[in-house]
C-alpha cells in the first residue's frame, strides 16, 4: 500500500477563501480568476493560500494543505479529479460557488480576458483530447461546460480549445 505525497486538505474553507460566495471579489493578488478556476476544472491540486509560508511550489513544506474550498467547488460542479489523492469535498452550493460562471461573475471585472479564455480553453482541449471519440461524449462534455460556464464563456473557451488542439492562436472579441 502506498501513501500519498500530496498534502492533506484543510478541514473547511477559510474565511477568505475565494471559492466562498461571501468572499471579497477579485481577491487574487496579481492573478486572474481563471488562474484559480483552471486547476479546479482540470483536477489539479490547489493549495490553500493560508498554508503557504514561502514562495514557490515546494510541496515538502510540512504546513501546506489542499484547499477545502476548491475541493467543495469541485463537488458542486461534479468534477472529480483523476488523481484520487487530490481532494474532492462534499457539495455545499449555499456556501461555495455552484458553477464556474458564478465564480467568474463574482470576481469580475478581473475575469474574461484573452489570457483567461486561453487558460479555460487549454483545460477544455485536454478534456476533449482525452475523451473517447464518440460524438455523443464530446457533445455531453460541451453541454456540461456550457451549463457550468454559461454559453458566452463556453463559446470563447471552445474557440481557445480549438486553437490549442490545432496549434493556432485565435484572437477573441469580447
State pLDDT tens for residues 75-108: 999 989 989 999 999 999 999 999 998 998 888 7
Per-residue model confidence (pLDDT) at position 96: 97
Per-residue model confidence (pLDDT) at position 114: 73
Q: What is the mean pLDDT of residues 120-135?
A: 73
Mean of pLDDT over the chain: 79
State pLDDT tens for residues 140-157: 777 777 788 787 777 777
Using CA atoms, how far apart are residues 42 and 82, in angstroms rounded to an integer? Answer: 9
Per-residue model confidence (pLDDT) at position 107: 85
Contact between residue 120 and residue 37 where contact means Cβ atoms under 8 Å apart: yes
Per-residue model confidence (pLDDT) at position 18: 92
Q: Rounded to whole angstroms, what are the CA distances from 95 to 5, 11, 37, 68, 123?
A: 29, 15, 17, 12, 25
Per-residue model confidence (pLDDT) at position 123: 79
Amino acid at each position: 500500500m502506498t501513501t500519498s505525497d500530496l498534502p492533506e486538505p484543510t478541514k473547511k474553507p477559510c474565511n477568505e477563501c475565494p471559492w466562498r460566495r461571501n468572499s471579497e471579489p477579485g481577491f487574487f493578488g496579481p492573478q486572474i480568476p481563471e488562474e484559480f478556476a483552471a486547476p479546479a476544472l482540470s483536477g489539479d491540486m490547489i493549495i490553500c493560500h493560508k498554508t503557504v509560508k514561502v514562495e514557490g511550489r515546494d510541496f515538502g513544506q510540512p504546513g501546506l494543505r489542499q484547499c477545502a474550498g476548491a475541493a467543495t467547488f469541485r463537488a458542486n460542479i461534479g468534477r472529480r479529479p483523476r488523481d484520487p489523492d487530490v481532494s474532492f469535498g462534499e457539495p455545499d452550493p449555499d456556501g461555495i460557488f455552484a458553477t464556474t460562471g458564478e465564480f467568474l461573475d463574482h470576481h469580475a471585472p478581473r475575469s474574461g480576458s484573452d489570457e483567461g479564455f486561453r487558460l479555460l480553453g487549454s483545460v477544455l482541449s485536454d478534456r476533449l483530447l482525452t475523451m473517447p471519440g464518440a460524438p455523443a461524449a464530446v457533445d455531453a462534455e460541451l453541454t456540461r461546460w456550457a451549463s457550468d460556464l454559461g454559453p458566452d464563456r463556453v463559446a470563447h473557451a471552445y474557440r481557445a480549445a480549438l486553437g490549442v488542439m490545432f496549434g493556432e492562436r485565435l484572437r477573441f472579441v469580447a
